[in-house]
Amino acid sequence: MIILALESSCDETACALVEDGKKVLASCIASQANLHAEFGGVVPEIASRLHVEAVLPVIDKCLRISKLKIQDIDGIAATVGPGLIGALLVGLSAARALALAWNKPFYPVHHMAGHIASNYLEDDSLPSTSSAHSSLPSLTASPLTPKCEPPFICLLASGGHSQIVYVKDYLDFEVLGSSRDDAAGECFDKVARALNLPYPGGPSIDKLAQTGNETAYKFPLISFKDDHLAYSFSGLKTAALSYINQKKMEAKQKHTPWEISFSLPDFAASFQAAVIQNLFIPIEIAMEKKKCKRLAVAGGVSANSYLRKYVKERFSEAEHEIYFPSLKYCTDNAAMIAAMAYYQASASLLENISFIAQPNISLEQFYIRKK
């Protein structure tokens, strides 16, 4: 079964064609990151307009790369939420129009379920047509993994979400824990901005941290007595921002550049280590709770080089099965949306051309969980 999917929930306009939920036949991403960079974050109105400009060219490019004909495609999918409403509407409207014009079934997909499904994609050697990842440090995508299969615990860490999800089956999700405030990716982005690093901040901090000492600065490790599976990143973010602001003020009084008043690589490395360590405090508790030794990591932050090293050191291969998406499918892409749609189509679930964009919908609400 071949699915054409569109993703436009934030600042990437993406199209992909994926066979049987795993084989990527084509994946194209038009990234807007450079255009939002001067504002230090995504400007929703600009994002919507840029999606409108990019959506038809990415579909066209994908069809050309795959050499597929319309009759080869079995279904159309699009991200319907969560995300920016204007941005979501562009991909969703285009996908629904294609489904109507080509007489194909349409599958609405939850963005975070798509991130989880990035772990089902084959680790192919297709060159990425995106410019979005050019600032990532050169890491080899892990060739290690056979395809991940449920049940597993998934750590979802993106710009908008930090969650621990028990993926009992392809369409059965139980959210075990979530952030009570900021997401891990957001925390990277805000601190990077204060350090005057380019947007998006995660890859910039990752790069800067390569030469830093992760033990140079102490950051808090946060856990809640009333919920061992909840996250909080706002304290960590505030600690980092307060330190940077203090250094900026001191430097201003001394008329010296603040950038030389402390070691930026050491600061980046220590901050990055703290974010990642905080992400993993509850993971072992969740794995124990569900008696599950299989762990997958997904979302933009799963591209982080320290995270990948840390996981391999912390979870022994003898006792655990660990999965990462290949690097090009960590951040937003449409191949993951097509992969998720394949499981919806296979189960005849959520085929609905009238589905409207749902900017805040939760995973459990979307795939109404069988208790």
Render the burial of 219-244: b for 16+ CB within 10 Å, e for the rest.
Answer: beebeeeeeebbbbbeebbebbbebb
Rounded CA gap, 148 and 146, in Å? 6
> Whole-number minimum distance, CB 261 to Zn ion, in Å?
35
Pairing of strands 75-81, 106-110: parallel
Residue 11 contacts which entry, Zn ion, ligand KG4, none (Cβ below 5-8 A, type-dependent):
none
Handedness of CA 291, 294, 299, 303 (dihedral sign): positive
If binding is defined by CB under 5 A, does position 332 make contact with Zn ion?
yes
Instruction: Give the range of 39-47, 185-193, 217-225, 241-249 binding ligand KG4 by CB under 6 A.
Output: 185-193
Stretch 117-156: interaction string toward Zn ion, x if CB under 5 A: ----------------------------------------
CA distance 76 to 312: 37
Smallest gap from Cβ 292 to Zn ion, in A, equals: 24
Class of residue 94 by CB neighbours under 10 A (exposed 0-12, middle 13-18, buried 19+): buried
Q: Which does 269 bind (CB under 5 to 8 A by kind): Zn ion, ligand KG4, none?
A: none
- Shortest Cβ distance from residue 10 to ligand KG4 (Å)? 6
Is residue 158 part of the contact set for Zn ion (CB under 5 A)? yes
Is 10 a binder of ligand KG4 (CB under 6 A)?
yes
Name the nearest CA neighbour of 155 among 300, 367, 271, 365: 300
Q: Which one of residues 299, 323, 343, 344 is an interface residue with ligand KG4 (CB under 6 A)? A: 299
Is residue 282 involved in binding ligand KG4 (CB under 6 A)?
no
Helix (H), strand (E), coil (C) string for 69-80: CHHHCCEEEEEE
Positions in the binding site for ligand KG4 (CB under 6 A): 10, 136, 158-160, 185-186, 188-189, 200-203, 206, 299-301, 303-304, 331-332
